Amino acid sequence: MNKQLTFRYMEEKDIDQILKVEHESFTTPWSRESFENELTKNQFAVYIVFEEEKEVFGYCGMWLIADEAHITNIALLPQYRGKKLGEALLRKVIEVAREKGAKSMTLEVRVTNYIAQSLYRKLGFQDGAIRKGYYTDNHEDALVMWVNL
């Protein structure tokens, strides 16, 4: 039997599961307070979770400002990576951004994260500028990527 994979908007009750994804994905994970603020105070924030039988295993956040969507973060639990689920999640977020009127989307990615860059390019993102020392954990540069929607 195939397990049910679904997308939905993130809710405050998801934060514990999201923090697990964060801590298994990033060297400098966001805090509970950061996610609470995004969900309750940031009028521009839209977060989508990807779940399997009510267990969140991935999510993606974006800010929708005017007609531009800016990806804030995207992550999957390690055991869900390499199965085209990150691509499915990003495709869903692009669809939501379009529905909400976005004409373009942008994001930052570590210059050494070739796997993510490959996914973004597959979905039409182009290389833009370099943000020097963008990441606070090791001062790695970020590649800014963008796509017209």
- Give the pLDDT confidence of 31-57 residue by residue, as tens digits: 999 999 999 999 999 999 999 988 999
Residue with tokens 């989307």: 105
Give yes or no for residue 1 having a pLDDT over 60.
no
- List the chain domain ranges: 5-105
pLDDT band at 2 (very low <50, low <70, confident <90, very high): low
**Strands 45-52 and 5-9, sheet pairing:** antiparallel
The active-site residue out of 59, 108, 114, 140 is 108
Mean pLDDT for the chain? 95
Q: Active site includes 108?
A: yes
**Strands 68-76 and 45-52, sheet pairing:** unpaired
| Dist CA 148 CA 136 (whole Å) | 29
The active-site residue out of 51, 80, 120, 134 is 120
Helix (H/G/I), strand (E/B), else coil: 96: helix
Output the pTM of the full model: 0.93
CATH of domain 5-105: 3.40.630.30
Q: Active site includes 120?
A: yes
Q: In DSSP terms, which residues pair with 70 in a beta bridge?
A: 63, 106
Helix (H/G/I), strand (E/B), else coil: 48: strand
